């Protein structure tokens, strides 16, 4: 990559990073029993950008991701301190309905986990429990639109009644993405969505993330630094439960401020 | 070996390099190695043979049980009949032929002195000395049924097949006394014997005459009791399993409850019978020896089995499915009823089969709550006096009369068929619910 293009990209990403604020985390501490997993982390997530969390295993990036839609509530002994807002609303406030929050902040998991039901039912499940479709026709439209957005429609349109678990790993993960976007969330959290996939399936998911960017605020956790560089505009580097550095992806990868970040992205450890 | 951590990295590497040439290369074809391999194969063969032996042994026991039950019990479904000639116009029958065509025929015949007519006919046909003793006490019922079927019989001499007495029946099946065998031989000479399927065994209830008893009362009692047990223990057991597994906080109390439930599953069944006696009969004043009380008692016994199996089944549902459902905004109840329960259902049903099969075969606790009474009519409802199949088997096996031996075996066959039908249904349901991944 020439210096000129690099500067060009950097300028573009800088402009993008001035996006509208979607989620904002302030001084987040997470404890599992006595053990502190996250230490005073503050991050802003913007509507237009893909935000990537990188860092070595056990650094707390997945834990932090799960605080953004309160999935940590289901873990016994987990405790979250600090404040996280979604459009200015505190998501840990008692007035916040956690079920609705998870519809607004959708999630895609590390291992593809389609329900052992038909492809159609997988996508229709979310809209159905939230009452988003008033008729069968409307539900068909939602399912079709979601599968098209997830880039899976052409592959499965003739076998919507087949089991979702019969698809290949990459297709299953795209089905899970279709399931997440079927309820029309505002933010999509992706927890290492490609770690169980082969390179071709990974490329498809990355392409999909590009297409979904802008429509949804996307936060992605990844082990793979090249992936973070490819798909994200903003990158946060976590280490041992601390947020070491957070900035534009181009900055982090070309000109990190912290030594630890530099060591990690150049492969000294991780 | 020395701990390598104190050494500089360079020293460590040189040591490993120095070590490697010291190891003699392994000779994979040496006699020691060959012997080891032979031993390994022998071990494998030995284990497979032992497994095969264990399976063969249990299959042998099962076969022995089935063969001895079927050979002893099948004759219980067959009854011996005697062809009794009756000359109706010349018999002392007190009945107006016209009434036989009316709706009152049944009652009129019951009062028409038929037993005496039958007895007289038997004496005329088979000898004045004990000629009527070869007929069952209820032989006249067969005569009555024949007359209702065809009132025209009254005008002529007819031959009616009536059930034989128990000792004649046994002798005809080559299990009776020498004296009875002699009578059977004579009857055979007169071509007066016939055998037919004993449908009465499936439609009648307990009685004193082994030729007349049936299993229907006990079968219906078992059905009612099992219905109460299932309706009570299945929902309660499944809900407790789900609550304990999905909702209850992990603390000392839940540990205590878990241990208690595990212990409850191992409590001898007679204790549950005592509990039923003390609580359901003495405290709640529920009717004695009723299917309702039996079902309640057996439900107490079955519940822990369902809870334990249910908890294991719920635990085996992959957490990723719960995450997936929570991730699209399902509430905890929706997660359980839309995803966890359907996936756990096959396991829960397996536990239920085991629990219900045990309850079906249970005798001891039912004796405690009075279900061992002699009940000669099928129970009319959940609160009517009833008995169940295993108790009926127990009661008949205790009878003095030899005719009950084959009836006991026949009752066991009915019990086993009931059990197989129940298990078959459960396996069908399980396969229906089973989701292929």
Condensed to tens digits (0 to 9), the pLDDT of residues A36-64 reads 998 899 999 998 899 999 988 888 888 99
> Which residues in chain B have Cβ-Cβ distances shorter than 8 Å to A183?
328-329
Q: What's chain B's Rg over C-alpha atoms?
A: 34
Residues 6+ apart with CB under 8 A from A144: A153, A157
Q: What's chain A's Rg over C-alpha atoms?
A: 19
Report CB contact under 8 Å: B437, A115: no
pLDDT band at B6 (very low <50, low <70, confident <90, very high): very low
Report CB contact under 8 Å: A76, B436: no
> Which residues in chain A have Cβ-Cβ distances shorter than 8 Å to B326?
71, 74, 102
Answer for the pair B207, B395: CB distance below 8 angstroms, yes or no.
Answer: no
Answer for the pair A175, A164: CB distance below 8 angstroms, yes or no.
Answer: yes
Closest chain A residue to B330, measured at CA? A99
Cα maximum dimension of chain A: 57
Residues of A contacting chain B (CB within 8 angstroms): 69, 71, 74, 76, 99-103, 106-109, 111, 113-116, 125-126, 129-130, 163, 165, 176, 179-180, 182-183
pLDDT of residue B53: 97
Using CB atoms, which residue from A74, A108, A176 is nearest to B326? A74
Query: What 3-state DSSP class applies to B159?
Result: strand
Residues 6+ apart with CB under 8 A from A59: A238, A239, A240, A241
Tokens (6 digits) for A213: 């960017």
Residues A241 and A219: their CA atoms lie apart, in Å, by 18
Q: Helix B216-242 to helix B403-433 angle, to the nearest 10 degrees?
A: 30
> Which residues in chain A have Cβ-Cβ distances shorter than 8 Å to B335?
none
Task: Quote the minimal CA–CA distance from B200 to chain A in Å.
Answer: 50
Using CB atoms, which residue from A100, A115, A163 is nearest to B324? A115
Using CB atoms, which residue from B318, B321, B331 is nearest to A99? B331
Using CB atoms, which residue from B249, B329, B435 is nearest to A103? B329
Which of B319, B328, B330, B434 to mutate: most A Cβ within 10 Å? B328
The conformation of residue B185, written as its DSSP 8-state character, comes to: H
Q: What is the pLDDT along chain A (270 residues), one digit of tens a residue?
A: 455 555 555 555 554 456 788 899 999 999 988 889 988 999 999 988 999 999 888 888 889 999 999 988 878 788 898 999 998 889 998 888 988 899 999 999 999 999 999 999 999 999 999 988 889 999 999 999 999 988 899 999 899 999 998 899 889 999 999 999 999 999 999 999 988 888 888 998 999 999 888 889 999 999 888 899 999 999 999 988 899 999 999 888 888 888 888 888 887 765
CA angle B359, B365, B370 (to 5 degrees): 120
Q: How many Å from the N-terminal Cα to the C-terminal Cα in chain B?
A: 50
Span B45-64, average pLDDT: 96
Q: What is the ipTM of this complex?
A: 0.85
pLDDT band at B3 (very low <50, low <70, confident <90, very high): very low
Closest chain A residue to B339, measured at CA? A115
- Which helix or strand (DSSP H or E) is residue B301 part of? helix B291-315
Q: What is the 3-state secondary structure (H, E, C) of chain A?
A: CCHHHHHHHHHHHHHHHCCCEEEEEEEEEEEECCEEEEEEEEEEEECCCEEEEECCCCCCHHHHHHHCCCHHHHCCCEEEEEEEEECCEECCCCCCCHHHHHHHEEEECCCCCCCCCEHHHHHHHHHHHCCCCCCHHHHHHHHHHHHHHCCCHHHHCCCCCCEHHHCCHHHHHHHHHHHHHHCCCCEEEEECCCCCCCHHHHHHHHHHHHHHECCEEEEEECCCHHHHHHHCCEEEEEECCEEEEEEEHHHHHHCCCCHHHHHHHCCCCC
Residues B405 and B402: their CA atoms lie apart, in Å, by 6
Q: Is the Cα dihedral B39, B44, B47, B49 positive or negative? A: negative
Using CB atoms, which residue from A76, A102, A111 is nearest to B320? A111
pLDDT of residue B7: 46
Residues A204 and B388: their CA atoms lie apart, in Å, by 65
> Which residues in chain A have Cβ-Cβ distances shorter than 8 Å to B331?
99
Q: How many Å from the N-terminal Cα to the C-terminal Cα in chain A?
A: 25
Residues 6+ apart with CB under 8 A from A119: A147, A156, A159, A160, A161, A162, A163, A164, A167, A175
Residues 6+ apart with CB under 8 A from B325: A115, A125, B334, B335, B338, B339
pLDDT of residue A10: 53
CA angle B353, B398, B357 (to 5 degrees): 0
Answer for the pair B327, A106: CB distance below 8 angstroms, yes or no.
Answer: yes
> Which residues in chain A have Cβ-Cβ distances shorter than 8 Å to B344?
none
Task: Quote the minimal CA–CA distance from A103 to chain B in Å.
Answer: 5
Residue B339 buriedness (CB in 10 A; 0-12 / 13-18 / 19+): buried
Residue B393 has pLDDT above 60, yes or no: yes
> Which residues in chain B have Cβ-Cβ distances shorter than 8 Å to A182?
328
Report CB contact under 8 Å: A74, B328: no
> Which residues in chain B have Cβ-Cβ distances shorter than 8 Å to A101?
329
Task: Quote the minimal CA–CA distance from A124 to chain B in Å.
Answer: 11
The domains of chain B are located at: 74-198, 216-433
pLDDT band at B436 (very low <50, low <70, confident <90, very high): low
Task: Quote the minimal CA–CA distance from A56 to chain B in Å.
Answer: 23
Condensed to tens digits (0 to 9), the pLDDT of residues B178-188 reads 778 888 887 87
φ, ψ of residue B164 to 5 degrees: the values are -80, 160
φ, ψ of residue A239 to 5 degrees: the values are -150, 125
Residues A265 and B2: their CA atoms lie apart, in Å, by 36
CATH superfamily of B216-433: MetI-like (1.10.3720.10)
Residue B106 has pLDDT above 70, yes or no: yes
pLDDT band at B115 (very low <50, low <70, confident <90, very high): confident
pLDDT of residue B148: 79
Q: Strands A187-191 and A217-221: what pairing?
A: parallel
Condensed to tens digits (0 to 9), the pLDDT of residues B276-305 reads 999 998 899 888 888 899 999 999 999 999
Nearest to B192 by CA among B133, B117, B134: B134
Residue by residue, DSSP assigns B249-271 as -SSHHHHHHHHHHHHHTTS-HHH
Tokens (6 digits) for B155: 């005008």
> Which residues in chain B have Cβ-Cβ distances shorter than 8 Å to A100?
329
Report CB contact under 8 Å: A180, B327: yes
The neighbour count for residue B43, using CB atoms within 10 Å, is 10
Residues A254 and A247: their CA atoms lie apart, in Å, by 11
CATH superfamily of A3-115+179-265: P-loop containing nucleotide triphosphate hydrolases (3.40.50.300)
Residue with token string 């074809």: B29
> Which residues in chain B have Cβ-Cβ distances shorter than 8 Å to A176?
324
Report CB contact under 8 Å: A163, B436: yes
Task: Quote the minimal CA–CA distance from B238 to chain A in Å.
Answer: 22
Task: Quote the minimal CA–CA distance from B231 to chain A in Å.
Answer: 29
Closest chain A residue to B436, measured at CA? A116
Task: Quote the minimal CA–CA distance from A114 to chain B in Å.
Answer: 7
pLDDT of residue B19: 53
Condensed to tens digits (0 to 9), the pLDDT of residues B127-178 reads 766 677 788 877 888 888 888 777 777 777 888 888 888 888 888 877 777 7
Q: Is the Cα dihedral B2, B3, B4, B6 positive or negative? A: negative
Using CB atoms, which residue from B250, B322, B329 is nearest to A129? B329
Residue by residue, DSSP assigns B42-98 as HHHHHHHHHHHHHHHHHHHHHHHHHHHHHHHHGGGGEEEEEEEEEEGGGS-----GG
Answer for the pair B94, B154: CB distance below 8 angstroms, yes or no.
Answer: no
The domains of chain A are located at: 3-115+179-265
> Which residues in chain B have Cβ-Cβ distances shorter than 8 Å to A99?
329-331
Condensed to tens digits (0 to 9), the pLDDT of residues B394-425 reads 988 888 887 888 888 888 888 988 888 888 88
Q: What percent of chain B has pLDDT over 90?
A: 31
Residues B127 and A67: their CA atoms lie apart, in Å, by 99
Condensed to tens digits (0 to 9), the pLDDT of residues B70-102 reads 888 888 888 888 888 888 777 777 677 777 777
pLDDT band at B1 (very low <50, low <70, confident <90, very high): very low
Q: What is the pTM of this model?
A: 0.79
């Amino acid at each position: 990559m020439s210096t000129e293009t690099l500067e060009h990209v950097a300028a573009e990403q800088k402009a993008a990073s001035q996006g509208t604020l979607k989620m904002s985390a302030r001084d987040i501490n997470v404890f599992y029993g006595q053990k502190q997993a996250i230490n005073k982390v503050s991050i802003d997530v913007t509507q237009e950008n893909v935000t990537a969390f990188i860092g070595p295993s056990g650094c707390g990036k997945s834990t932090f991701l799960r605080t953004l839609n309160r999935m940590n509530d289901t873990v016994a002994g987990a405790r979250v301190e600090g404040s996280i807002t979604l459009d200015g609303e505190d998501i840990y406030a008692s007035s916040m309905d956690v079920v609705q929050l998870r519809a607004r902040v959708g999630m895609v998991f590390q291992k593809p986990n389609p329900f052992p039901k038909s492809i159609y039912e997988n996508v229709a499940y979310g809209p159905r429990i939230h009452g988003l479709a008033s008729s069968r026709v409307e539900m068909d439209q939602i399912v079709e639109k979601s599968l098209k957005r997830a880039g899976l429609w052409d592959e499965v349109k003739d076998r919507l009644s087949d089991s979702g678990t019969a698809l290949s790993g990459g297709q299953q993960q795209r089905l899970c993405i279709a399931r997440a976007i079927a309820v029309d969330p505002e933010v999509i959290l992706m927890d290492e969505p490609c770690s169980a996939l082969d390179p071709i399936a990974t490329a498809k998911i990355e392409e999909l993330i590009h297409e979904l960017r802008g429509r949804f605020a996307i936060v992605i956790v990844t082990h793979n630094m090249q992936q973070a560089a490819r798909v994200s505009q903003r990158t946060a580097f976590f280490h041992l439960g601390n947020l070491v550095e957070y900035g534009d992806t181009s900055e982090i990868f070309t000109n990190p401020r912290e030594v630890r970040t530099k060591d990690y992205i150049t492969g000294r450890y991780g | 070996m020395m701990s390598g951590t104190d050494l500089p990295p360079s020293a460590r590497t040189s040591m490993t390099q120095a070590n490697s040439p010291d190891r003699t290369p392994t000779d994979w074809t040496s006699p020691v190695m060959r012997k080891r391999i032979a031993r390994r194969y022998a071990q494998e063969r030995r284990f497979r043979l032992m497994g095969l032996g264990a399976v063969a042994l249990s299959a042998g026991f099962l076969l022995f049980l089935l063969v001895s039950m079927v050979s002893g019990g099948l004759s219980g479904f067959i009854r011996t009949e005697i062809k009794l000639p009756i000359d109706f116009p010349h018999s002392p029958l007190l009945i107006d032929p016209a009434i036989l065509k009316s709706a009152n025929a049944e009652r009129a015949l019951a009062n028409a002195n038929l037993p005496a007519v039958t007895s007289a006919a038997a004496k005329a046909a088979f000898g004045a000395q004990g000629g009527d003793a070869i007929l069952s006490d209820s032989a006249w019922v067969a005569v009555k049924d024949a007359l209702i079927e065809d009132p025209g019989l009254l005008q002529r001499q007819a031959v009616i097949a009536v059930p034989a007495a128990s000792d004649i029946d046994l002798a005809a099946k080559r299990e009776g006394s020498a004296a009875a065998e002699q009578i059977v031989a004579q009857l055979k000479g007169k071509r007066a014997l016939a055998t037919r399927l004993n449908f009465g065994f499936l439609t009648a209830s307990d009685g004193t005459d082994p030729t007349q008893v049936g299993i229907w009362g006990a079968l219906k009692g078992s059905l009612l009791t099992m219905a109460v047990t299932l309706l009570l223990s299945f929902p309660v057991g499944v809900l407790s399993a789900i609550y304990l597994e999905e909702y209850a906080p992990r603390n000392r109390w839940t540990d205590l409850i878990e241990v208690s439930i595990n212990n409850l599953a191992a409590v001898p069944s007679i204790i549950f019978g005592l509990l039923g006696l003390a609580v359901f009969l003495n405290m709640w004043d529920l009717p004695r020896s009723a299917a309702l009380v039996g079902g309640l008692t057996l439900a107490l016994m079955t519940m822990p089995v369902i809870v334990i199996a249910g908890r294991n089944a719920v635990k085996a549902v992959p957490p990723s499915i719960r995450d997936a459902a929570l991730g699209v905004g399902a509430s905890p109840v929706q997660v359980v009823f839309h995803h966890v329960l359907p996936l756990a259902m096959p396991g829960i049903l397996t536990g239920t089969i085991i629990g219900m099969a045990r309850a079906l075969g249970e005798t001891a606790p039912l004796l405690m709550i009075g279900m061992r009474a002699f009940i000669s009519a099928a129970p009319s409802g959940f609160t009517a006096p009833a008995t169940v199949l295993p108790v009926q088997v127990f009661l008949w096996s205790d009878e003095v009369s030899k005719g009950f031996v084959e009836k006991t075996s026949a009752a066991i066959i009915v019990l086993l068929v009931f059990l197989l039908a129940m298990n078959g249904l459960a396996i069908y349901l399980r396969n229906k619910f089973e989701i292929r991944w």
